[in-house]
């Protein structure tokens, strides 16, 4: 299936787009989404272990399953405040 992932900050700048589409298996979880993202943009490899994800605006874990219509976002380490 095809999922849409929102990108922010340095990750967005590296990928060059604020919203990217990734092809993952129909039973994919967040770790698969992360792998697909890194696969498409190998420059993100140094960031891989630091990237959190949110599904439908809630922080997810590596094992969180995703569906094609989920709102998925890649959350690099935050620096607000």
Partner 1 sequence: MASLTHETIDLQSLYDMVATPTAGAIVTFSGVTRELTQGRQTESLDYEAYAEMALAKLTELEQIAKERWPIEKCAVVHRLGHLEIGEASVVVAASSAHREAAFLAAKWLIDTLKEEAPIWKRENWSDGSTEWVHPGLPTGDAP
Catalog residues that contact partner 1 under the rule CB under 8 A. Answer: 6, 8-10, 13, 46-47, 50, 54, 57-59, 73, 75-81
Nearest approach in angstroms of CB 57 to partner 1 is 4
Query: What are the percentages of helix, strand and coil residues in the chain, rounded to 5?
Result: 35, 25, 40
Is 24 within 8 Å of 3 (Cβ atoms)? yes
Integer Cα distance of 53 and 63 in angstroms: 11
Cβ closer to partner 1: 9 or 67?
A: 9
Cβ closer to partner 1: 18 or 23?
A: 18
């Amino acid at each position: 299936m095809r999922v849409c992932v929102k990108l922010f900050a340095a990750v967005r700048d590296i990928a060059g787009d604020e919203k990217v589409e990734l092809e993952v298996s129909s039973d994919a979880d967040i770790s698969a989404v992360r792998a697909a993202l890194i696969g498409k943009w190998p420059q993100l490899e140094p960031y891989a272990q630091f990237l959190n994800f949110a599904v439908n605006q809630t922080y997810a874990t590596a094992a969180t399953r995703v569906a094609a219509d989920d709102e998925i976002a890649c959350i690099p380490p935050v620096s607000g405040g």
